[in-house]
Amino acid sequence: MAKPKPPFLTRAGQYTANLILSAPLKLALCLPYRPRVWLMGAMMSRVLAPLLGYRKRVRDNLDLVWADLPEADKRRLARQVPENFGRTLVEIYSGAQLKDHLADTKPEGPGVAALEQAHAEGRPVILVSGHFGNHDAVRATVSRDFSPVGALYRPLDNSYFNEHWEAAIESVAEPAFARGRRGLAQMVKYLRSGNIIALLVDQHVSDGADLTFFGHPARTTLSAAEMALKYNALVLPVFGVRQPDGYGFRAIIQDEIPHGSAEDMAQAMNDALEAMVRQHPEQWFWVHRRWKQRGKKKAG
C-alpha cells in the first residue's frame, strides 16, 4: 500500500493544479461578459475537453443509453456539451453580471403559481434540477423574485480551487451549504423555516435507490424526496434552458411532483430531467459517470 503524500507535497500539488485550472477562467474574466462566456466555452470545448477526456466520456455515455442516435449527432454533442459546461462555469464566476444579464428573465411554467402560493404560505420549497443548461439561472431569478434560494454544493478536493468556487456560488445567490454533516444540518434548518432550497439530483450515489435514467439502472439519491415528505415541502423540477444565442435563458418551473413514496418521487425527478435532456441533449453534462451499474437495456 502506497504511503500518503506528506501534507506539504499535497498542498503544493493542489496549489499548482489550481494555478493551471484557474488560468483559463482568469483570462476569460478579464473580458466583457459576452466575450468571456464565448471564450470559456470555446476553450473548454476545443482545448480542455480533449485533454481531460471529456469528449470520450460523452461518447461512451451516448453509446450506452442512446445508441441509435446518429453518429453525426454524437460527434456534435461531444463538442457542444463541454462548450455549455465552459459557458456555465464562467457565468457562475460572473455572479453579479450574470444576474444583470438575467434582469428581463422571469420564472415561467406551470409550477410558478404553486411556488407563489407556497411562498405566500411560508411553506418549504425544494427546487430540483440537474447539471443542465445553467441551473443557477433559475436560482438567481427565483432568489430575485421570491426569496433567497439556498444551495447545497459539494466542496472540491482541491482546497485552493474550492475557496474561489464557494465564493462564486455565493455570488449568484446566498446561502450556500457545503455538503457534510454541518452543511446538511444548516440546510435542513433553513428549509424547515419555510425557505427555498435548490438541489441537483443527477449524479451517481453509491447508496442511492436503484432507479432508472434513460432506461438504464442509475443509483439515485432519495434525499430530496425524503426531506419533502418529512417537512411537507413543495417539490418543483426547474431548468435554466440556454437559448440559441448562447447567452440568454428561460427559467422554467415545471408542475410539482406530488408526494408519494420517496422512490416514486425520485423517479419522477429523473423522468423530468430525461425529458428535458432529450429536447436539449447538448445542455446536459454527459461527462458524469451516471450509469456505473451498466444494464443491458438500451433506450432510443
pLDDT score of 121:
97
33 inside domain: yes
The answer to whether residue 296 sits within a structural domain is: no
Residue of 44, 29, 43, 15 whose CA lies nearest to 171: 29
Residues 266-279 as b/e (b if ≥16 CB within 10 A, e otherwise) read bbbbbebbbebbee
- Of 19-23, 229-233, 263-267, the one with minimum mean pLDDT is 19-23
More confident residue, 141 or 27: 141
229 shares its domain with 119: yes
φ/ψ of residue 29, rounded to 5: -70, -10
First and final C-alpha spacing in the chain: 44
What are 14-18's contacts with CB under 8 Å, separation 24+? 14/157, 14/158, 14/159, 14/160, 14/161, 15/160, 17/158, 17/160, 17/161, 18/158, 18/160, 18/161
Nearest CA to 144 out of 102, 114, 177, 113 is that of 102
- In the predicted model, what is the mean pLDDT of residues 211-239? 97
User: Does residue 121 sit in the same domain as residue 57?
Assistant: no
Residues 102 and 215 grouped into a single domain: yes
For residue 14, pLDDT over 90 is answered with no
Q: Examine the domain organization and report whether 66 and 141 are in the same domain.
A: no
Same domain, 192 and 226: yes
Domain-embedded: residue 83: yes
Domain count, the chain: 2
Q: Is residue 299 part of a domain?
A: no
The answer as to whether 219 is a domain residue is yes
Distance between CA 179 and CA 8 in Å, rounded?
26
> How are beta strands 249-253 and 107-108 bridged, if at all?
parallel
Distance CA 150, CA 176 (A): 5
Is pTM beyond 0.85 here?
A: yes
Final residue in a domain of this structure, among 39, 70, 92: 92
107 plus 231 within the same structural domain: yes
* Separation between Cα atoms, residue 28 and residue 36, nearest integer Å: 5
pLDDT at 243 over 60: yes
55 in the same domain as 32: yes
* Mean of the per-residue pLDDT values of the chain: 91
Which residues touch 137 (CB under 8 Å, ≥6 apart)? 91, 98, 102, 105, 240, 249, 251
State the average pLDDT over residues 16-21. 71
Q: How many CB atoms lie within 10 A of CB 257?
A: 24
Over the stretch 87-132, which tens digit does the pLDDT of each residue have?
Answer: 999 999 999 999 999 999 999 999 999 999 999 999 999 999 999 9
Expressed as residue numbers, the domain containing 144 is 98-283
Measured distance CA(157)–CA(59) in Å, rounded: 26
Q: How far is CA 238 from the centre of its chain?
A: 11
Same domain, 85 and 104: no
Task: State which of 92, 115, 141 marks the end of a domain.
Answer: 92
User: What pLDDT, on a 0 to 100 scale, did the predictor assign at position 297?
Assistant: 42
CA distance 38 to 283: 15
Residue 294 has pLDDT above 50, yes or no: no
For residues 102 and 76, state if they share a domain.
no
* Closest among 133, 137, 138, 131 to 153, alpha carbons compared: 131
- Residue 239 grid cell: 431548468
In tens, the pLDDT along 28-82 reads 999 999 999 999 999 999 998 998 899 999 999 999 999 999 999 999 999 999 9
Q: Is residue 144 part of a domain?
A: yes
Do 18 and 135 sit in the same domain of this protein?
no
For residue 281, count other CB atoms closer than 10 A to its CB.
19
Look at 43-52, 81-90, 164-173, 240-249 and tell me which has the smallest mean pLDDT.
Answer: 164-173
Is 111 found in the same domain as 71?
A: no
Same domain, 191 and 147: yes
